Amino acid sequence: MSTTTSVTSIVELEVDDGPTWWAREIGAIRAALVDHYGGDVAGEALTPPHDPAGLRAQLRTVAPRLTALTDRIRRAFDIDQACSVLIPELGLGRLEIDDKRKGVFALAVLLGDPTANIPVDQVLWDVRNQGDKASSHTSFSENDHKADYHTDNGALPIPERFFLLYSVKAAQCGGGASLIRDGRVVKKHLEETPEGRAAVRLLTEKNLPRRIPEEFHKYGHIDPDGYQYAPVIADKPMWRWRKYGIRKGIRANPEYQTPEVRQAVDTLTELLESGPDEIRLVIPTDGLVIINNHIALHGRTAFTDPERHLLRLRFHEPSR
C-alpha cells in the first residue's frame, strides 16, 4: 500500500471481538429494520430508508458496538481527512449472507443516508461476474474485466460522498484487486510539471461533454443532446471522471477536439495508469473498504475466480 506524507490516503482500523458483538447485536439490528420497514425485508431487497435519521437514532440505541465502530470511521474521514478506510476483518464472516447484508446496511445507515442503485430501488448491489445473467444497464460490476479509474455517479448534481465495498468472498486467483488514487495526490503530481499544470487548468475551467445513459437523465443536469457538460476537477465533488464517457463526448462534439483538450485528458490518463502513489489491495474475505467518492478515483484489476463476491453500497452525508 502506498500513501504520501502530506495527506491521509488510507486509514486501517482493527475490530476487536467482531464476531462476538455482531452475534449479540444482529438480532436487534434485524428488529430495528422490521420496525422501520413495517415487516421483514430480505437484505438484498432493502431500499433507502424513508426516515434515515430516525433509523440511525434507533440503531445507535440498539447496536452500541457497531455505533462505536462507525464513530471511529467518521473520525478517520472528518478528523484525519482520510481518502479511504480499510477494515481487514469486520466480523460478519460467520453470519449467513442475509445477515451480512443487513449488518453492512446498518453500518452504512449509521454513517449516512444510503441511496438506490439507479435504475433499481435496491440499496445493496452484488459485485460479481454474472456472465450471461448480467443486467443490461451495467458493465464491470457484473463481469470479471479490468475497471479503469473512475468516480461513481458523476451524472448526479452532487454524487454520493461515500461508497463501501464489503468482501463476501475475495478472489483466490491473484486478481480482483481494488485500485484507489487519492485525488488530492493526483492533483499534486499534475502540478509538478508544465503539462500537468496545463491539464489542471483546462480540466478545472472547461466544461467537457460526457455521454450519460438515458436512465440517469432525470437525476442530473443533462442537456437535451444526452450529454452532461461539467469540469473534471471542481470543488464538490473534486473529481468527475470516466475516461471512456469523456472521450466519447469529445469525439461526438467537434468543438472540443482540440490539441489542448486531448493533451489534458491524455496527461491525466497516463498519470492514473502509471503514476506513483497508487493504493492497490485485495479486500480480504470479511473485509470492508469505505471510499470518499468526492476526492478518490477507483478501479479494479481483472480476475478469473468465479466465486469472487463483493457488496457495494453508496451513501450521502447523514441527514439530520
For residues 178 and 52, membership in a common domain is answered with yes
Residue 116 lies in a domain: yes
Residue 222: predicted pLDDT = 86
Give the domain CATH number at 64.
Answer: 3.60.130.10
Asked whether residue 106 falls in the same domain as residue 226, the answer is no
Of 267, 285, 242, 272, which Cα lies nearest the Cα of 140?
242
Q: Are strands 208-211 and 178-182 parallel, antiparallel or unpaired?
A: unpaired
Q: Find the Cα–Cα–Cα–Cα dihedral 47, 60, 35, 49, rounded to 10°.
A: -20
Is residue 110 assigned to a domain? yes
pLDDT at 6 over 60: no
Q: Are residues 258 and 137 in the same domain?
A: no
Taking alpha carbons only, the member of 33, 211, 40, 219 closest to residue 117 is: 219
Is position 167 within any domain? yes
Report the C-alpha gap between 315 and 292 in whole angstroms.
Answer: 10
Q: Domain for residue 27, yes or no?
A: yes
71 and 123 co-located in one domain: yes
How far is 22 from 1, CA to CA, in rounded Å?
29
Q: Do 266 and 304 belong to one domain? A: no
- The pLDDT of residue 320: 79
Q: Are 20 and 77 in contact (CB under 8 A)?
A: no
Instruction: Evaluate whether 231 touches 134 at the Cβ level (below 8 Å).
Output: no
β-pairing, 10-12 vs 288-292, is: unpaired
Task: Say if 189 falls within a structural domain.
Answer: no
The enclosing H or E element of 49 equals none
- Report, as an integer, the average pLDDT of 210-227: 82
* CA–CA distance, 274 with 149 (Å, rounded to integer): 11
pLDDT at 1: 42
What is the reported pTM?
0.94
Tens of pLDDT along 50-98? 999 999 999 999 999 999 999 999 999 999 999 999 999 999 999 999 9
Q: Are residues 263 and 131 in the same domain?
A: no
Number of domains in the chain: 2
Do 204 and 294 lie in a common domain?
no
Domain that holds residue 253: 197-274
Long-range Cβ pairs for the range 221-224 (8 Å, 24+):
221/157, 222/155
Domain contains 4: no
Output the pLDDT for position 3: 40
- Angle among Cα 4, 297, 48 to the nearest 5 degrees reads 125
Cβ-contact 6, 188 below 8 angstroms: yes
Q: Within a domain: residue 218?
A: yes
User: Are 114 and 238 within one domain?
Assistant: no
Same domain, 83 and 123: yes
Q: What is the pLDDT of residues 193-202, one digit of tens each?
A: 999 999 999 9
Residue 205 lies in a domain: yes
Residues 60 and 119 in one domain: yes
Would you say the C-alpha torsion 304, 145, 142, 15 has a positive or negative sign?
positive
Task: Indicate whether 75 and 22 sit together in one domain.
Answer: yes
Structure confidence at residue 258 as a pLDDT band (50, 70, 90)? very high
**Residues 101 and 179 occupy one common structural domain:** yes
pLDDT band of residue 131 (cuts 50, 70, 90) is confident
